[in-house]
Chains A and B, each alone.
Chain A
């Protein structure tokens, strides 16, 4: 039996029960759509975070309190022994080799006239922060100066979310607003940085370190950024930093990371996330496959007499097997192709609101899966059809 006839036959069978075929395909469509979309989100997230970290610069070392991971303490250790004084010590000892910027933080509410913005992260840092953290660029106005920092000036640089929520379209420079109970003057605005894992990176206010310490009574730091003057010095500065801090802290009190080491941790996490998302979507594809098997069994039963007749007229087992297998494969493949198209469109639309990036491998996998599902789930019904005895089948009512 030639392939052309087989295709015509399958097309007719699918077309004869349009609603049924459509619903069966829908299961595959949803599965494939979900795989492509969720994998796209996972990949998009990974790219976004990777870019964010890469944006920090390859010369950057950061010291954070507590211990992250490690064989001995897999869940990490919480510690708040890393303090502002450690940053000062580091700057003194590292001298010309690096710039050190400690960051303290507090979440509070900021107010301007009758408007308020809740959950704003207030960062207290030093004036060299924009030089060190490369993705903190100033959009308008300026960052606070060394003298403003040292005098504990009530000057603030605000993020885009704070800008739009408090000042909407007004020029914020020079405006006075409340951070908690203290009045600050806006001197600059930071460029948009977006959201990571749903955390808005633009809902921030940056103020001089001494002002933040005085207002919130903070001594332990959130992060100490160390910008090394030459990237070849990064390993040496990293070792030196560790040695200095171990002078009075233990290994559980701090973790030193470079952009590179963070990148590998984050890609591990996002990879697992992508696989987990894809896995969940794959389950829905599996359910779709069961739908195909189900409808093929119905189809074989319904067409028992037809199978008997075809056999009487000379169809061999293989002919019947191929006929039903192709029908199942066409069902799932059509569903798969529709799912791929919808998944791609969905990813493009989603990219406007959220991070999302289509990967070729997810499209191939989805395509391969839908063909495989047609064959695997179509196999049992097709074998059943091919084994029908012509007399029994012809007698079937």
Chain B
């Protein structure tokens, strides 16, 4: 079966303008990620991996270069178009979980479904079934601070799956967790990979990166 390029970056650069100082964070990144891949982007802090993740996740746009997502050039998209794509195509998992503290687990998971315009019934069914599969059914009405870090990150993964996206973008998902719960999160990502999701894992930990299919090393804004 011929794999198609899900993501294609062509000579992407990113500069930050701080008054008269221009910081070049990404200095020409070209990479391809195929559908169904499990890729780690590895680099030290300051290597530009967060900026790369923001661009891959459509949270930011490149200064120059092109970004093709499923063959459409998204590098020139408007803010609301990017919001739409983030909502449908990408599931985010953050280092600090980023759950809404005042909302219940269920309300947190359902959130992307609300912005996707799904019906209430549809949202409920989807969220319930995801939470069940991830083994969080009993915590559905709890607030995030009543759960352990590992559980909270699994809630975040459940939320990322809400709109059945093609890509899971995990930014240091184990950074705030102990080794055991960190490994559980990685195991969960592996399962999702087996189920056909494309997984991009951003990490600075070698042993985490090594559990993926391919490692992209980033140093000083360039791919090694």
Contact = CB atoms under 8 A, between A and B. Distances in A.
A314 B98 contact: no
A199 interface: no
Given A310-B111, A316-B83, A394-B94, A12 B59 contact: no
B133 interface: no
A390 B115 contact: no
Contact of A309 (B84, B87, B100, B117): B100
A1 interface: yes
B80 interface: yes
B113 to A, nearest CB: 9
A20 B170 CA distance: 37
B139 interface: no
B124 to A, nearest CB: 13
A391 interface: yes
A306 B54 CA distance: 17
Interface in A372-397: 389-391, 394
B102 A312 contact: no
A21 B159 CA distance: 30
B59 A390 contact: yes
Contacts of B117: 1-2
B86 A314 contact: yes
Contact of B112 (A305, A314, A389): A314
Nearest to B98: A309
B88 A313 contact: no
Contacts of A154: none
B90 to A, nearest CB: 9
B116 interface: yes
B38 interface: no
A265 to B, nearest CB: 61
A239 interface: no
B60 A316 contact: no
B170 to A, nearest CB: 13
B57 interface: yes
Interface of B: 54, 57, 59-60, 79-80, 83-84, 86-88, 92, 94, 98, 100, 102-103, 111-112, 114-117, 120, 159, 163
Interface of A: 1-2, 4-5, 12, 16, 305-306, 309-319, 389-391, 394
Given A1-B115, A312-B98, 18 more contacts: A2-B117, A2-B120, A310-B111, A311-B83, A312-B59, A313-B86, A313-B87, A313-B112, A313-B159, A314-B84, A314-B87, A314-B88, A315-B83, A316-B115, A317-B83, A390-B59, A391-B59, A391-B60
15 contacts: A12-B102, A309-B100, A310-B111, A311-B83, A313-B86, A313-B111, A313-B112, A313-B115, A313-B159, A314-B84, A316-B79, A316-B80, A318-B80, A389-B60, A394-B98
- In the complex, the 3 A-B pairs of residues with the closest C-beta atoms, listed nearest first: A314-B87, A314-B115, A316-B80
